[in-house]
Amino acid sequence: MPIIVNLDVMMAKRKMSLNELSEKVGLTISNLSILKTGKAKAIRFSTLETICKVLKCQPADILEYAEEQES
């Protein structure tokens, strides 16, 4: 998938655990884990906004586009 989720990187930079982020954002650990591992198919803008507020970052710090390499 050409969209890379760097949520774990931002969490590490902010020294925040998945449990702590879950509490502050109001999402289940399961849903955050799915997002963190890049298995999510979509994310609501309101969720992205809340994550950015809590982590004090920009959406581009969490989401990255990478070209797919042709085989």
Hey, how many other C-beta atoms are within 10 angstroms of the C-beta on 45? 8
- Cα–Cα dist 68/33, whole Å: 24
Please indicate, yes or no, if residue 69 is contained in any of the structural domains. no
- Cα–Cα dist 61/46, whole Å: 16
Domain that holds residue 24: 3-64
Please indicate, yes or no, if residue 53 is contained in any of the structural domains. yes
pLDDT digit string (tens) for the chain, length 71 residues = 689 999 999 999 999 999 999 999 999 999 999 999 989 999 999 999 999 999 999 999 999 999 877 76
Please indicate, yes or no, if residue 12 is contained in any of the structural domains. yes
Residue 67 pLDDT: 85
Q: Please report, for the domain that includes residue 27, its CATH number.
A: 1.10.260.40
Residue 68 pLDDT: 78
Greatest Cα pair distance, the chain, in angstroms, is 42
Q: Which residue has the tokens 């449990």?
A: 19
Domain count, the chain: 1
